[in-house]
Amino acid sequence: MDYFPFFMRLRGQRVLLVGGGDIATRKARLLAKAGAKLHVVSLAIESELEALVARTEGSLRLGEFVDTDLDGVVLAVAATDDAGVNQRISEQAQARHLPVNVVDSPELCTVITPAIVDRSPLVIAISSGGEAPVLARRVRSKLEQMLPASYGRLAGLASRFRQAVKDKFGDGDQRRRFWEKVLEGPIAEQVYAGNEAEAESMLANELASETGQTGGEVYLVGGGPGDPELLTLKALRLMQQAEVVLYDRLVSSEVMELVRRDADRIYVGKRRSEHSLPQPEINQLLLNLAKQGKRVLRLKGGDPFIFGRGGEEIELLAANGIPFQVVPGITAASGCAAYAGIPLTHRDHAQSVRFITGHLKNNDPNLSWPELAMPGQTLVFYMGLMGLEEIAQMLLKNGRSPLTPVALIEKGTTREQRVIVGNLQTITAKVEEFAAKGPTLIIVGEVVSLRGHLDWFGDRDRQNVN
């Protein structure tokens, strides 16, 4: 992030605008709308800009920019067609530690003007850091279509009750929950319908009857294999509601970026033979937080009910009467296979697919290997990197063809995805050669041979090793 986004209060403040043409006028419109007093310096000035100066009770000086024009201003804006003048304004403003914006010259700016969606008092700013302003405007256009004008009236209603809600609820979480109920329920619908008086009456009644006493709840959410675009809509909604998040190492940083910013985050990740928090303690922590009235998000990589131990976690919650929701996620098998161009089933190659944990208890291959070695099926081993050699040897020992294709997918669905392909005889050596690291997924079966034809990502974005 090259620029830290913030909103600057300009009402009644003096702002320097150097330039008198069309671009300067467009800037002046926004500054005037924010209540700034315009101090315009230019050799010539358009009539609309001159009117804006008068309307804002600002000042106008016809002439060249001089350093003293920066006296008493809180912001400097350069909108001339003279690169030398623009640079001098930038240098002089920065020397005084004044924020400065130079139109179409992000390298000279300390602040930039975003594309704006105005639903005052709700204002949305979109910025590309000056690198792609047309894209920022396209995003603004899409948001303009999505957000009705009544959002501004809804924000105004919330503003009028803000202090009353703050007085009633001393706890920030209680206030947040109250406002979420208001802004997502029938009160908001009355505003959208134009019935603001009715909405205000309903909000007053809701506030008078609200006790602020709410019970805790747990959301058990599958975060998918890594690509944030694979999250479900329900997962995104609950990720934005939760006050506390317990997450593991398989949840990608891109997915974590979508969690509510002010939520408390607790890492409970696990590696082979290394648990930051043992499973029974995770279960108890979920229970304790819910009993405190918290909305708790248990965010897991993949799907919580496929080798995710989600059943153990909700078992304790159910026994203690804690409400919970379970949101499935795209499991690693389907996500990673799809991104690697490997169909898990195919009429000519595999009529069934089996999901198997690759964690071999005490290094003991206690699986039904004769069944797994049968042809006509696809085997997907989760967490099998450390046991890869043993897996290959046991399948060979029980009759699976040495030429059976095998793919190991590393960091599947992410930009760091690698696919290492071999067969039961060669895959172990190939994986060692390319020093694969977790998280990984292993796919065994004839369907792997199809990936050359069906790899829709190819070498453009992800690395393939054959």
Alpha-carbon distance of 442 to 337, in angstroms, equals 9
DSSP 8-state code for residue 257: T
Quick one: pLDDT at residue 231?
Answer: 95
Output the known binding site for S-adenosyl-L-methionine.
225, 301-303, 306, 331-332, 383, 412
Quick one: pLDDT at residue 308?
Answer: 87
Q: Which residues are CB-neighbours of 115 under 8 A, at least 6 positions away?
A: 125, 126, 127, 133, 136, 137, 139, 140
Alpha-carbon distance of 10 to 426, in angstroms, equals 68
Q: Characterize 299-325 residue by residue with b for buried, 16 or more Cβ atoms within 10 angstroms of its Cβ, and e for exposed.
A: bbbbbbbbbbebeebbebbeeeebebe
Quick one: pLDDT at residue 202?
Answer: 93
Q: Please spell the DSSP secondary structure of 131-175, one letter per residue.
A: S-HHHHHHHHHHHHHHS-THHHHHHHHHHHHHHHHHHH--SHHHH
Quick one: pLDDT at residue 174?
Answer: 84
- Give the other-Cβ count within 10 Å of 348's Cβ: 8
Alpha-carbon distance of 62 to 258, in angstroms, equals 50
Cα 37 from chain centroid? Answer: 38
Alpha-carbon distance of 287 to 285, in angstroms, equals 5
Quick one: pLDDT at residue 460?
Answer: 40
Angle between helices 196-209 and 150-168 (to 10 degrees): 20
DSSP 8-state code for residue 302: B
Output the known binding site.
22-23, 43-44, 225, 301-303, 306, 331-332, 383, 412
Quick one: pLDDT at residue 92?
Answer: 97
Quick one: pLDDT at residue 365?
Answer: 56
Smallest Cα–Cα separation from 168: which of 180, 182, 155, 178? Answer: 178
Output the known binding site for NAD(+).
22-23, 43-44
Q: Please spell the DSSP secondary structure of 313-367, one letter per residue.
A: HHHHHHHTT--EEEE----HHHHHHHHTT--S-BTTTBSEEEEEE---GGG---S
- Is 12 exposed, middle or buried (CB count within 10 Å of its CB: 0-12, 13-18, 19+)? exposed
Q: Which of 248, 294, 300, 411 is catalytic?
A: 248
**pLDDT tens for the chain, residues 1 to 466:** 788 888 999 999 999 999 999 999 999 999 999 999 999 999 999 999 999 999 999 999 999 999 999 999 999 999 999 999 999 999 999 999 999 999 989 899 999 888 889 988 889 999 888 888 899 989 999 988 888 889 899 999 999 999 999 998 887 888 888 888 898 889 999 998 899 999 999 999 989 988 766 778 999 999 999 999 999 999 999 999 899 999 998 999 999 999 998 899 999 986 655 556 889 999 999 999 999 989 999 999 999 999 988 999 999 999 999 999 999 999 999 999 999 999 999 888 898 999 998 765 555 557 899 999 999 999 999 988 999 999 999 999 999 999 999 999 999 999 999 999 999 999 999 999 999 988 999 999 999 999 876 555 544 445 566 5
Question: Quick check: is 270 catalytic?
Answer: yes
Angle (CA) 180 184 115, round 5° = 85
Smallest Cα–Cα separation from 442: which of 375, 374, 353, 362? Answer: 353
Q: Which of 33, 168, 181, 270 is catalytic?
A: 270
Smallest Cα–Cα separation from 410: which of 356, 334, 462, 344? Answer: 462
DSSP three-state, residue 4: coil
Quick one: pLDDT at residue 77?
Answer: 97
Query: Cα Rg for the chain, rounded, in angstroms?
Result: 30
Tokens of 446: 């004839």
Q: Which domains does the chain have, with CATH numbers?
A: 14-113 (3.40.50.720), 150-209 (1.10.8), 217-330 (3.40.1010.10), 338-465 (3.30.950.10)
Question: Quick check: is 459 catalytic?
Answer: no
Angle between helices 196-209 and 172-184 (to 10 degrees): 140
pTM of the predicted protein model: 0.71
Smallest Cα–Cα separation from 317: which of 293, 339, 341, 288? Answer: 288
CB 413 within 8 A of CB 337: no
Tokens of 192: 């959208």
- Give the other-Cβ count within 10 Å of 205's Cβ: 11
